[in-house]
Amino acid sequence: MLTDFQIGVLGGDARQLQIIKKLCDADATLYLVGFEELDEEIPGAIKTEMDDIPTGELDAVILPVPGTDQEGYLDSHFSNYSPQLTKEWVQKLNRSCTIFTGITRDYLTDLCEESNLQLVPLFNRDDVAIYNSIPTVEGTVMMAIQYTDFTIHNSNVVTLGFGRTGKTVARIFQALGANVKVGARRQSDLARIFEMGFEPFHINDLSDHVEECDILINTVPHPIVNVKVIQNMQLHSIIIDLASKPGGTDFRYAKRRGIKAILAPGLPGMVAPKTAGDILASVISQILLEEKGERGNY
């Protein structure tokens, strides 16, 4: 339980909404900024403004998944303005207050460093990345069904990378009945790929393994689906690139060859915001409890 915890939630999308609900359920007190258009009443959550939050008493501040832009503005799906995270505001926070974000870029990182505040970019954590791989892969499955005229079952799928997302991709496409080959570079990954019943190949040999591929799914954030690879692919095949922008695919060349290639960022928030919010809420709770201990009079 998060009884007596006070938390600011500044902007966000449907995932934040789920975070808010979960934390309120756990008895925390929440101050919401940028949620004017949210109709629902959530007991324990107070809609307010940046300047009206009891800044000095907050145990945590939760930012939207993408963090701030380079001027500190925070995207807010439930409002038509964007709250801003300024140096002045941040410096009113208690030193023990934790700032949660999905990812972070310079402005936010610097701000927290200067203000000597702990910043937790949740998406850097292995556990979050693994939990998130589940909605990511369901989004990928949805796209593979939507954008092809054949079934995943009995199709030839090549997946690239066997990290936190790649393992889940391979597992689920196999479960759907595809013949799955997985490209990786570590010997231990190749061994696990074999053990799990996929066909392993060294990612350096990628261009030799795509000739019969119907669906290519990339999770490697490096330009590995290059001209040499794409020219070996069948015209009816499709490339779904999950790696963070700009992906690992030569999209220009794919287009020229007439092969559909899609960069698909942000799938969890898109296909399963409730689950994606639950994942974040549960890790946030756990971190708060570990760091600050359970409170309340029980």
Ligand X SMILES: NC(=O)c1ccc[n+]([C@@H]2O[C@H](COP(=O)([O-])OP(=O)(O)OC[C@H]3O[C@@H](n4cnc5c(N)ncnc54)[C@H](OP(=O)(O)O)[C@@H]3O)[C@@H](O)[C@H]2O)c1
Binding site for ligand X (CB under 6 A): 129, 132, 136, 161-166, 184-186, 203, 219-222, 224, 242-244, 264-268
d(CA 69, CA 21): 26
Stretch that binds a second copy, among 1-9, 30-38, 66-74, 149-157 (CB under 8 A): 149-157
Q: What residue 263 binds from a second copy, ligand X, none (CB within 5 to 8 A, per partner kind)?
A: none
Query: Is 261 in contact with 241 (CB distance < 8 Å)?
Result: yes
Q: Does 237 bind a second copy (CB under 8 A)?
A: no
What tokens were used for 57?
């008493």
d(CA 35, CA 21): 13
Helices (H), ranges, the chain: 14-25, 87-91, 106-114, 126-146, 164-175, 187-195, 227-230, 251-257, 267-271, 273-292
Q: Which of 54, 197, 223, 246 binds a second copy (CB under 8 A)?
A: 197
Give the residues across from 216 on adjacent strands: 158, 239
Q: Does 199 bind a second copy (CB under 8 A)?
A: no
Q: What residue 269 binds from a second copy, ligand X, none (CB within 5 to 8 A, per partner kind)?
A: none
Q: Which is nearer to a second copy, 115 or 275 (CB)?
A: 275
Q: Which is nearer to ligand X, 28 or 170 (CB)?
A: 170
Give the residues across from 263 on adjacent strands: 241
Stretch that binds a second copy, among 4-12, 24-32, 113-121, 194-202 (CB under 8 A): 194-202
What tokens were used for 265?
């960022």
Distances in whole angstroms, Cα of residue 258 to Cα of each of 157, 217, 219:
19, 17, 22
Q: Does 177 bind a second copy (CB under 8 A)?
A: yes
Which residues would be at the binding site for a second copy (CB under 8 A)? 14, 125-128, 130-131, 133-135, 138-139, 141-142, 145-146, 148-154, 164, 167-168, 171-172, 175-177, 187-188, 190-192, 194-197, 271-275
